Structure 1
């Protein structure tokens, strides 16, 4: 296979997007290592990210490079993955063209940062974030560029304050770019992070957007930066609030059961997972979102009035949190 020519030369800000994304990955991983250090995670390898640089050559279906950073066995985070990738391909996969049929079969370039953090303590919620830029165009045509991403919170045990604070952070990140964006992206998140086969929300939501280019390019990029920068502000105070909450075998068992739902969504419904696998991406990096332990129970029913039952009834529903 011949190398795919990069279309970044025609996009003046692509280098800036890449610089921002790699810097964001550095900042987020450093912040999590500081949380681990503060919790006493100074053992050999514990509480530190392994940086795994990778590259795909011209003989492969997808070309490009990236850095996958993974931390396992921490005191606060049982598993945390944060990956950067910058790839090019000969044609957009079907998952990326369902809303852009005119770009079917077009060469593309994509870069982004994607992360999922699975805490050890069941009272600390899992968080996911993705920020990305994709550009594509048929030969002889000016490429089309758009942004996507968002962040969302998935608790095992629900707390109103955590959900409200997280959504407030999402709203504040979008406020400078239009008062209509948070309610739109919040609804989009609720509709996207939904297990259709379970008729159940994945978590308490957040914001999600895709195919976004309605603002001028530099403003769209500024919005992406604001969303990316909001992750630590919105999430780390929740971690600090919950990480020392006592727990036992009951809570761990429920955590693993709820993680099973997380796996189901990522494999069955997540467009990012499908995009990566369909385009020939690096499987190990694509699946860094998977939890270290998960389980399934047949027709599990939690006792009325229990905190486990409250999760489904009060938190895994579409609500206005603000």
Structure 2
């Protein structure tokens, strides 16, 4: 993998600093996840590594794999950026209850890891995860900090066993910090990854949270670390289980239609996309990394009644408590 965004010697010297600790964590998550995905490829496909800098401050590392036999497109990005928040971004944060000085600009620091994996086989689900840390310095010198993120699954064909496995892995990670986190953040995920104009969710959920500053900075960091480390065991077994499954033209066309819904959510509703586009010096290639290579929109398409496609749609319209199925 590439060298870190920040100077590695300084990172090691400041391991007690949350900015440095979070950067070291996301570097490891990126490297581990990319290696895990590469090990599932059938043709030795590898991630390309693109290191970039931002003139306003900081930079990032984008790892992209395209046209693999298993993964049609996979992106795993980290960013470590700093600079000044524009007034519009400050207004958005204040509207969410952040105690920020009025006006602007205000100095900020943000670091995180973000990944979206679009498999070739329609029987393998798409996964998205994002874990981030944010700091804003007010005009009086006080610092507001918080964590955000989550992991969610977007299958094209519903497999209840896969759904249970995925959600169980996330619950296990959440329970290490608080038994209240999984049900709270599972509902948040179902509500957030919604496509209102379609009346459906993007996928079968997972966990999602933002503005997390409890119980304290160390506790919040450990929670984020546990969730990020749960990505590989929650997802890679599903890839191994289904990457060689058979499928045909009809299944591929359905996959492309569902990818169209994925694009609609990311471009219209996703808060991270909106924030990225509002940030001065934003790197568009990284912001739009989440989009698939191919997608499809078909006029007035409806799956046949009682088909496998309609079973998925029923769940997307009515989120389920997957862990009750196991009970």
Structure 2 portions without partners, runs of 5+? 1-10
Q: Is the 8 A contact 2:116 2:127 kept in 1?
A: yes
- Give the equivalent residue in structure 2 for 1:70: 64
Q: Give, in whole Å, the separation in 1 of the partners of 2:307 and 2:315.
A: 12
Report the CA distance between 1:63 and its aligned residue. 2.2
Report the CA distance between 1:305 and its aligned residue. 1.6
Alignment of 1:98 onto 2:98: no
- Give the equivalent residue in structure 1 for 2:307: 306
Equivalent residues in 2 for 1:241-320, closer than 5 Å: 241-280=241-280, 281-320=282-321
Q: Is the 8 A contact 1:204 1:316 kept in 2?
A: no
Q: Is the 8 A contact 1:157 1:311 kept in 2?
A: yes
Q: Give, in whole Å, the separation in 2 of the partners of 1:282 and 1:141.
A: 29
- Give the equivalent residue in structure 1 for 2:187: 187
SS across alignment from 2:85: coil
- Give the equivalent residue in structure 1 for 2:74: 80
Q: Give, in whole Å, the separation in 1 of the partners of 2:223 and 2:95.
A: 24
Report the CA distance between 1:215 and its aligned residue. 1.3
Q: Is the 8 A contact 2:200 2:316 kept in 1?
A: no
- Give the equivalent residue in structure 2 for 1:56: 54
CA change 1:97–1:28 in 2 (3 A) is farther
CA deviation map 1:50-106 (0-9, x unaligned): 10000011xxxx421100110001111000000000111312514444313532533
CA change 1:252–1:223 in 2 (3 A) is same
Q: Give, in whole Å, the separation in 1 of the partners of 2:232 and 2:92.
A: 29
Aligned length: 303
Alignment of 1:199 onto 2:204: no
Q: Give, in whole Å, the separation in 2 of the partners of 1:118 and 1:317.
A: 24
Report the CA distance between 1:314 and its aligned residue. 3.3
Q: Is the 8 A contact 1:95 1:271 kept in 2?
A: no
- Give the equivalent residue in structure 1 for 2:163: 163
Report the CA distance between 1:160 and its aligned residue. 0.5
Structure 1 portions without partners, runs of 5+? 1-7
Alignment of 1:111 onto 2:111: yes
Q: Give, in whole Å, the separation in 1 of the partners of 2:174 and 2:315.
A: 26
- Give the equivalent residue in structure 2 for 1:210: 210
Q: Give, in whole Å, the separation in 2 of the partners of 1:97 and 1:262.
A: 28
**TM-score, normalised by the number of residues in structure 1:** 0.91
SS across alignment from 2:153: strand
Q: Is the 8 A contact 1:257 1:294 kept in 2?
A: yes
CA change 1:229–1:309 in 2 (3 A) is same
Q: Give, in whole Å, the separation in 1 of the partners of 2:27 and 2:95.
A: 29
Alignment of 1:27 onto 2:32: yes
CA deviation map 1:280-317 (0-9, x unaligned): 32100011000010010111111112111111013552
Q: Give, in whole Å, the separation in 1 of the partners of 2:315 and 2:190.
A: 15
Q: Give, in whole Å, the separation in 1 of the partners of 2:193 and 2:163.
A: 15
Q: Give, in whole Å, the separation in 2 of the partners of 1:269 and 1:179.
A: 29
SS across alignment from 1:214: coil
RMSD: 1.6
Alignment of 1:233 onto 2:233: yes
Q: Is the 8 A contact 1:56 1:63 kept in 2?
A: yes
- Give the equivalent residue in structure 2 for 1:173: 173
CA change 1:18–1:56 in 2 (3 A) is same
Indicate the larger mover: 18-27 or 146-155.
18-27
CA deviation map 1:186-230 (0-9, x unaligned): 000000000011110110000000000011111110111001000
